[in-house]
Amino acid sequence: MGDGSNLLVIMALLPFVGALVPGWMIRAGRNACATFTAIPTILALVMLGLLAPDVMAGEVIQAEFSWLPQLGLSASFFLDGLGLLFAGMILGVGLLIILYARFYLSGEDPMGQFYTYLLLFQGAMLGIVLSDNILLLLVFWELTSLSSFLLIGYWKHLPEGRQGARMALAVTGAGGLAMIGGMLILGNIVGSYNLTDILASGDLIQSSDWYVPALVLILLGAFTKSAQFPFHFWLPHAMAAPTPVSAYLHSATMVKAGVFLMARMWPALAGTEIWFYIVASVGLITMVLGAVIALFKDDLKALLAFSTVSHLGLLTMLLGFGTPAAAVAAVFHIINHLTFKAALFMTAGIVDHEAHTRDIKRLGGLARLMPITATIGTIAALSMAGIPLFNGFLSKEMMLEEASHTYWFENPWIVPALATLGALFSVAYSLRFIFHTFGGPVRDDYPHKPHDPPFGMYAAPALLAVLVVLIGLMPFLAEPLVTVAASAVAGEALHPHLKIWHGVTPALFMSLAAIGGGIVFLLIHRPLDRVWLAAPRPEAKAIFEWIVEKLAALSRWITEISHNGAISRYVAIFTVASVALGFAAYSGGGVGPETRAMLPIPPLVGVGWFALVCGVGAVVVFHRTRFRALVVLSIIGLMISAGFVYLSAPDLALTQISVETVTIMLLLLALHFIPKETPKESSGLLRARDGVIAAVAGLGTGALAYTFMLRDVDTISGFHLDNSYEGGGGSNVVNVILVDFRGYDTYGEIIVLGIAGLIIYALMTALLNGPAGRKLRNTDFTRDLSRDRHPLMMVVATRVMMPIAVMVGIYIFLRGHNYPGGGFVAGLVIAIALLMQYMASGFAWTQMRQRIQYHAMIGFGVVIAGLTGAGAWLAGKPFLTSAYGYIHRPPIEEFEWATALFFDLGVFLTVLGAVMLMLYSLSRIARYAGQQVNLEPMDYDPADRVKKREGSE
Amino acid sequence: MELVVASAIGVLTAGGVYLVLRLRAFPVILGLSLLSYAVNVFIFASGQLAVNLPPILDKYGDASYTDPLPQALVLTAIVISFGMTAVLVMIAIGAFLDSGTDKVNISREDRDVEDPVK
């Protein structure tokens, strides 16, 4: 990559970097803020200027970084003639807008925000025109929709601003979605998402079966963005934005993005019949419709908005013609429209700013009061009307010339006639803009006495007006830029000659007719206006809102059906759907033959199975009496542990049995606070339905498990068995997998467990501080309590057992690496030992003797495990690589050390901390609920009773 | 033996699904516990069943072992499912204390509150 490509990338990213600045600089004042916003734009312009000579010489500057090559997405940029034209427009007008906005925005408007949005938008636009990858282009495309939403809705206090912004986002966003589909199809046809490749394979694309869908989807994106009929309605409503935004978005950037896209895709998509009929027709309709409506708008900005719609239609129509000459006309008109329309918007903004109204009916006679503004506005509007010697005339002549020999379904008249009609209305509304705003007598009822604004405010439009005249008088000035841009559009070298006088051509007569007719229409505007106002016409905003409302109602309806708050229903649907899918997969794919023989069933296993099945049955049948169900549940857990023992899984058996114990304790504690019985509320029918669902699910799962177990599958377990001792230094493969091979998983899992513990603690705290806490304090739980809460036998037994249990825990922990055991089981065993103390001696008594906070234990556990893993880095190994060795010191037998032990220590601490925190939280609720605290180990001392009896006798 | 395990998985699933479909929080928690059993045993069984072949390496023999990988996965799954049960229990208690009922389904009246966006 050469210097040029570096510059290109920096240029494309500058506005985004610059967007960070205004937010800070606003503290230094409004001038500093505007200056610092202008700097990135100026820098980017300078870079563009440096690159321009190469591009004008016909070179294409490219820069590429791979981003997600698997998806065909690369951050690649390129700059050709078309890109140069648009980048110049975006940056140039951007700079003028920054200047203009400095004077336009009032002291109450947050200027830093405005400039940030503006630069964000500028960057997004620049990205669109410089992207060499259509996926990247789509990203920037969506960014323009989002950032224009922020800009249009900038005046958040105005409902029109918010509604306009939402409408613009909805319409252009929907178009953007369609375009994503179209671009993906296009990329699939070509086999590459690179724009350069796509532009080079026009024939391939146009002969593909997918050409029409791709074309329609992409055009939907372009039409919505460029406000083409029938999506034109959002643009006038976006006029609720501050005028600098309107001037920027609707003259040079946002709405031109659609036109840009059509021009960009021209070599790939244009030239076919369907392209002509869709694009040219839509453009023609939009041009005429926009011009007609513009004539009857009284709001200056609305007039300009519909005029923009009309001119965008004109551009679309020219691109739709698909001829090189039309492409030249389109490119030239893009430049001309930019100059006069931006100037006109700024003029309208000045009028609004000075006279405090934009209503044409309340204006008039401003030429005397604000001569400079009037001159600028008049020059720009005459250009818009297409009056000779202004630049608008030149491109309009070219357009009419192209239209004059275009056939629409064999009909030679319809296109020229409609084009002339559009031009005629264009003359009429332009003249109305001039005469009804600036012409006529000075009035004395303006809301505010108008006068010319300070130089800074009219500098930008004045510069543009100078350009209007310059290009109008000396069109050859624009020729090099038009040539290079039009050549890029057409994909071939074009050599257009721009001149004022083309001789006596059909276009000249069409122009004359348009000007003459326009003057007539202006003269009879008053009666026409009355007719227009009286005639019924569809209100786009009302239709749009009706559609939005219906869509919202539809989605509410769907939500209502599918998401009605009944969890049982979701579960039922989910279960049935899963079973159905499983059955579909089974019947579709088929199963191979059985490759394993069934193992024999010893009688003892049969007994265990019977106990388990009876247990499940009992839980289901007795689930209403909750306590009983809970006791039976523990039988099932025991049977499963036994099964694990029999089926060569000692680690699982240990874990299952200790988890079982803890779970039952937890549920018993919980049962204290919730009803002890489940009322009977589901009907027999519902229960029958649930029974059928459950039976089907059970059968399906059982059958799946059975089929699976009788067939061999390839596993990766051989690797673990082979490397456990050599690589991990342990002979208990399950433990080595946990702390070594899959140590990362385990690390994640203990963090999850720790988080679960903290969630419970947080929930409990929130609960106790809320209304539930008050309710708890007023609930009487005493009737549930046994009189002898801390029986002597249990207290003594647990205290004796405590050291033994801890020793067993440590033993299980230490042997874990080589024999069944490990951090998980050890943590659970010690947790159970501690829980026994809580149960036997009471919450407060145990709590007083607790030295380490359970939260801290979770934290230490995670940190120790993490540090052990990170320790591997010191040895230059990846995270969680373990090391081990052997220590031999007589008389002690040789024993092994392994870093995995420290990791397991982390696991141990986290499990212990989390389990204890959970049960501790639950017992704290009991405490809160008014349970008394025993300070003595036993609150029922039999000796007291004996003494009492003796005393009373 | 496979038939025993598969039928146990089926029975546990059926019981679990039935209880999960109940209308109160406590049976749903019981059902989820049954479902966890079923899922854990299922994953464990996917490593094929073996009797007397624990995956504890024998230094002195050239023994064969059962598949250790599902066991490691299930071991953590058992502990995590305990954590999940505990969180659910806590939520159930909170919901009961706050609303005075332990129904799992949101009733129509509770659902039809004023849309805050509108």
- For the stretch A90-123, pLDDT in tens is 999 899 888 888 888 887 788 888 888 999 999 9
Q: What is the pLDDT of residue A949?
A: 66
Is the minimum CB–CB distance between A572 and chain B shorter than 8 Å?
Answer: yes
Chain A hits for B85, Cβ within 8 Å: 663, 666-667
Q: What is the pLDDT of residue A1?
A: 45
Q: Report which DSSP code applies to A69.
A: G
Residues 17-56 of chain B with CB under 8 A from chain A are 17-30, 33-34, 37-38, 40-42, 44-56
Chain B hits for A742, Cβ within 8 Å: 72
Single-letter amino acid, residue B63: A
- B44 vs chain A: nearest CA distance in angstroms? 9
Q: Do A698 and B10 touch (CB under 8 A)?
A: yes
Q: How many helices (H) and strands (E) does chain A have?
A: 42, 4
Nearest by CB to residue B55, choosing from A626, A712, A734, is: A734
Q: What is the pLDDT of residue A154?
A: 87
Which residues does residue A898 pair with via DSSP β-bridges, in sequence order? A884
d(CA A334, CA A346) in angstroms, rounded, equals 18
Which residues does residue A329 pair with via DSSP β-bridges, in sequence order? none
Q: Do A767 and B54 touch (CB under 8 A)?
A: no
Is the minimum CB–CB distance between A553 and chain B shorter than 8 Å?
Answer: no
Q: What is the DSSP string of A588-618?
A: HH------SPPPP--HHHHHHHHHHHHHHHH
Torsion sign (Cα): A629, A631, A635, A638: positive
Q: What is the pLDDT of residue A219?
A: 93
- B32 vs chain A: nearest CA distance in angstroms? 12
d(CA A907, CA A858) in angstroms, rounded, equals 9
Nearest by CB to residue B4, choosing from A609, A715, A771, is: A609
3-class secondary-structure state, position A19:
coil
Q: Do B102 and A675 touch (CB under 8 A)?
A: yes
The answer to whether A303 touches A360, Cβ cutoff 8 Å, is: yes
Q: What share of chain B is helix, strand, coil (3-state, %, to 5)?
A: 65, 5, 35
What is the phi-psi region of residue A504: left when phi exceeds 0, alpha when psi lies from -120 to 50, beta otherwise? beta
How is residue A285 written in tokens? 């309709």
Single-letter amino acid, residue A654: L
Is the minimum CB–CB distance between A648 and chain B shorter than 8 Å?
Answer: yes
pLDDT tens digits, residue range B20-50?
A: 998 888 999 999 999 999 999 999 998 888 8
Q: Do A715 and B29 touch (CB under 8 A)?
A: no
Angstrom CA distances, A911 to A180, A312, A712, A914, stand at 48, 67, 35, 5
Is the minimum CB–CB distance between A442 and chain B shorter than 8 Å?
Answer: no
d(CA A376, CA A262) in angstroms, rounded, equals 32
pLDDT confidence tier of residue B78, bands split at 50, 70 and 90: very high
Q: What is the pLDDT of residue A898?
A: 78
d(CA A366, CA A193) in angstroms, rounded, equals 54
How is residue A532 written in tokens? 């227009």
Torsion sign (Cα): A213, A214, A217, A219: negative
Ordered by start, the domain boundaries in chain B are 2-50+66-111
Three-state SS letters, A476-537: HHCHHHHHHHHHHHHCCCCCCCCCCCCCCCHHHHHHHHHHHHHHHHHHCHHHHHHHHHHCCC
Mutation target to probe the A interface, by most A beta carbons within 10 A, among B23, B46, B58, B71 is B71
Q: Do A600 and B1 touch (CB under 8 A)?
A: yes
Count of A-B CB contacts under 8 Å: 319
Of B50, B110, B7, which is closest to residue A639 (Cα–Cα)?
B7
How is residue A161 written in tokens? 């601003």
Half-sphere exposure of B12 (CA within 13 A, CB side): 29
3-class secondary-structure state, position A886:
strand
d(CA A336, CA A322) in angstroms, rounded, equals 20
- B67 vs chain A: nearest CA distance in angstroms? 6
Q: What is the pLDDT of residue A948?
A: 66
pLDDT tens digits, residue range A814-860?
A: 888 888 888 899 999 999 998 888 888 877 777 778 788 888 999 99
Location of structure tokens 């963005």: A225
d(CA A366, CA A436) in angstroms, rounded, equals 9
Q: Do A663 and B44 touch (CB under 8 A)?
A: no
d(CA A215, CA A209) in angstroms, rounded, equals 11
Chain A hits for B51, Cβ within 8 Å: 599, 646-648
If you measure CA to CA, which chain B residue comes closest to A657? B78
Chain B hits for A640, Cβ within 8 Å: 37, 40-41
Q: What is the pLDDT of residue B118?
A: 43
Count, residues in chain B: 118
How is residue A705 written in tokens? 């498990």
Q: Do B90 and A921 touch (CB under 8 A)?
A: yes
3-class secondary-structure state, position A364:
coil
Here the ipTM equals: 0.93
* Sites in chain A below the pLDDT cut of 50: 1, 953
Domain B2-50+66-111 class in CATH: mainly alpha
Q: Do A763 and B59 touch (CB under 8 A)?
A: no
The answer to whether B12 touches B34, Cβ cutoff 8 Å, is: yes
- A859 vs chain B: nearest CA distance in angstroms? 17
